[in-house]
């Protein structure tokens, strides 16, 4: 896996291409990139035959260890011996394996000197470097995150934060040692985890030390919805400013459009789509701005056109549980071309939610996924534009306050 940067904008955002090789071909993913979040190897609520109705059709995914470590687990995958790509029928896709599940962050206080804990369906399991490497060897993802001890931003104790940095580096060194002797592991890309909570010095130390190791990229750990905006950017930048330009930077747990843009400006390249699941499970449909084709003239025209229809104030999302949608026969979002907006109405989704039909989740996932992917495509467009004003205009339209995911 290699990152080719096309451009670094004056705002700090990078646009580029992640190139990776399969046996048969070379494939390209454009950055800033949003990887489809999966659980138990599947995009939640979406069966694979529906992938053709998603836009774009998924060619990459983020696998989450907690939902795969117990089942299928190393034993089944080892016996199967064709790797996780074949097991999950995702043969030519780019698969990235993360240690934790960003949709369901782990409880703190359960990591130890020699292991990190993940919560599987069967309960807590301790993951040591050896156990994890066995899983990676059996599954052979394209790239995997190094085992890490990540503390949430709410952990203030310096001693605990220091320990997390030390442990993570030790895990990384053990991983590198095991990888050195194993060709299968060497063929998988390795991402070093940059931890350090909210402590600047520790963030810098973690980043600086990780850079000294031969890794293929970095995951900036420890950010989640609880972060307040003020220190989020500065802490993030304290880490990313130390990392080599040409290395891809991954992040989890960053989901509001405003936070995504802040991360992009801080030099992050790869995100995940777990927020799509959160919105869906709340019965919400994304409506935040995601189009790059709006310029000032367009907006004026659109405003004139929509004044004839009931004017809707801009919002991040709408909650389809609300009774007011019971007779609303318009699509989830006018102008959206996703399967749900083309075939169904707000009234139908509201009905499905009331009757607790799982089709509500399927249709909302289709909309929210398409919406978020379009946001990233538009983001790449405006970053590529020679006019910085395009990016700033886009940013002004979609930056929203925090807590946007709490309906």
User: Does the bond joining 192 to the residue before it have cis omega, within 30 degrees of 0?
Assistant: no
Which of 335, 358, 386, 406 is the binder for other proteins (CB under 8 A)? 358
Q: Give the whole-angstrom CA distance, residue 18 versus residue 271.
A: 13
The single residue among 355, 396, 401, 406 that binds other proteins, judged by CB under 8 A, is: 355
Residue 121 falls in which region: left (phi positive, over 0), alpha (psi -120 to 50) or beta: alpha
Greatest Cα pair distance in the chain:
68
Which region among 86-94, 164-172, 240-248, 387-395 touches other proteins (by CB under 8 A)? 86-94
Q: Measure the CA–CA gap between 149 and 45, rounded to whole angstroms.
A: 30
Q: Are 160 and 112 in contact (CB under 8 A)?
A: no
Nearer to other proteins, 182 or 327 (CB): 327
Residues with Cβ within 8 Å of residue 89, at least 6 apart in sequence: 48
Pick the stretch among 187-195, 241-249, 311-319, 360-368 that binds other proteins (CB under 8 A).
Answer: 360-368
Nearest Cα to Cα of residue 291 among 356, 372, 358: 372
Among 3, 54, 88, 284, which residue interacts with other proteins (rule: CB under 8 A)? 88
**Angle, alpha carbons 379-58-41 (nearest 5°):** 120
Cα–Cα nearest to 157, from 90, 89, 109, 98? 109
Contact flag: residue 91 with other proteins (CB under 8 A)? no
CB of 68 to other proteins, least distance (A): 8
* Only segment of 11-19, 23-31, 37-45, 193-201 that touches other proteins (CB under 8 A): 37-45
53 touching other proteins, by CB under 8 A: yes
Does 76 help bind other proteins (rule: CB under 8 A)? yes
The pair of three-digit structure tokens given for residue 302, joined into one six-digit string? 């659109």
Residues in the chain: 407
Total number of residues that touch other proteins (CB under 8 A): 43
In the chain, what is the straight-line distance between the N-terminal and C-terminal CA atoms, in Å? 38
Q: Show contacts with other proteins in window 290-349 (CB under 8 A).
A: 326-327, 329, 339, 343-345, 347-348
Site for other proteins in 117-176 (CB under 8 A): 121
Structure tokens at 107: 């409880």
Q: Is 45 in the site for other proteins (CB under 8 A)?
A: yes
Give the rounded distance of the alpha carbon of 10 from its chain centre.
24
Closest contact distance (angstroms) between CB of 233 and other proteins is 36
CB of 27 to other proteins, least distance (A): 20
- Bridge-based pairing state of the strands 143-145 and 189-194: parallel
Annotated binding site for Zn(2+): 336, 338, 341, 367
In the complex, what is the shortest distance from the CB of residue 105 to other proteins, in angstroms, rounded to a whole number? 18
Position 17 contacts other proteins (CB under 8 A)? no
Query: Which residue in the set 15, 151, 260, 352 belongs to the binding site for other proteins (CB under 8 A)?
Result: 352
- Pick the closest to residue 221 from 202, 189, 190, 197 (CA basis): 197
> In terms of Cα–Cα distance, which of 270, 234, 277 is closest to 364?
277
Contact at 8 Å (CB) between 85 and 93?
A: yes
- The rounded distance, in Å, linking the Cα atoms of 9 and 104 is 34
User: According to CB under 8 A, which one of 29, 46, 62, 372 is a site residue for other proteins?
Assistant: 46
Q: Binding string, 374-403, against other proteins, x = CB under 8 A?
A: ------------------------------
Q: Does 405 bind other proteins (CB under 8 A)?
A: no
357 binds other proteins (CB under 8 A): yes
* Residues near other proteins (CB under 8 A): 39-42, 44-50, 53, 67, 71-72, 75-76, 79-80, 87-89, 121, 326-327, 329, 339, 343-345, 347-348, 350-352, 354-355, 357-359, 361-363
């Amino acid at each position: 896996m290699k990152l080719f940067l096309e451009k670094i904008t004056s705002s700090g955002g990078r646009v580029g291409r992640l190139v990776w090789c399969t046996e048969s071909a070379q494939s390209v993913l454009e950055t800033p990139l949003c990887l489809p979040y999966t659980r138990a190897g599947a995009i939640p609520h979406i069966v694979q035959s529906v992938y053709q109705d998603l836009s774009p059709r998924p060619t990459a995914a983020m696998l989450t260890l907690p939902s795969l470590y117990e089942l299928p687990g190393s034993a089944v995958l080892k016996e199967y011996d064709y790797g996780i790509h074949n097991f999950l029928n995702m043969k030519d896709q780019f698969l990235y394996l993360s240690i934790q599940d960003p949709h369901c962050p782990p409880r703190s206080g359960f990591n130890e000197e020699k292991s990190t804990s993940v919560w599987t369906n069967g309960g807590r399991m301790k993951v040591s470097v050896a156990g994890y490497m066995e899983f990676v060897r059996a599954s052979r993802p394209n790239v995997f995150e190094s085992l890490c001890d990540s503390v949430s931003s709410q952990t203030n104790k310096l001693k605990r934060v220091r320990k997390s940095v030390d442990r993570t580096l030790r895990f990384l060194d053990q991983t590198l040692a095991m990888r050195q002797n194993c060709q299968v592991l060497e063929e998988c890309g390795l991402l070093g985890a940059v931890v350090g909570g909210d402590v600047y010095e520790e963030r810098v130390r973690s980043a600086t030390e990780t850079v000294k190791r031969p890794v293929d990229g970095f995951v900036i750990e420890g950010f989640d919805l609880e972060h307040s905006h003020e220190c989020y950017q500065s802490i993030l930048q304290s880490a990313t400013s130390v990392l080599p330009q040409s290395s891809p930077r991954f992040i989890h747990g960053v989901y509001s459009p405003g936070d995504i843009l802040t991360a992009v400006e801080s030099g992050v390249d790869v995100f995940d789509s777990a927020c799509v699941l959160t919105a869906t499970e709340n019965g919400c449909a994304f409506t935040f701005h995601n189009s790059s084709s709006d310029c000032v003239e367009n907006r004026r025209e659109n405003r004139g056109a929509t004044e004839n229809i009931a004017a809707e104030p801009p919002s991040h999302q709408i909650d389809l549980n609300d009774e007011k949608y019971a007779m609303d026969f318009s699509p989830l979002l006018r102008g959206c071309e996703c399967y749900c907006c083309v075939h169904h109405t707000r009234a139908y989704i509201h009905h499905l939610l009331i009757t607790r039909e799982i089709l509500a989740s399927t249709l909302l996932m289709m909309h929210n996924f398409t919406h978020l992917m379009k946001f990233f495509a538009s983001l790449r467009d405006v970053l590529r534009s020679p006019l910085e004003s395009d990016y700033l205009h886009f940013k002004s339209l979609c930056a929203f306050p925090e807590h946007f995911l709490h309906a």
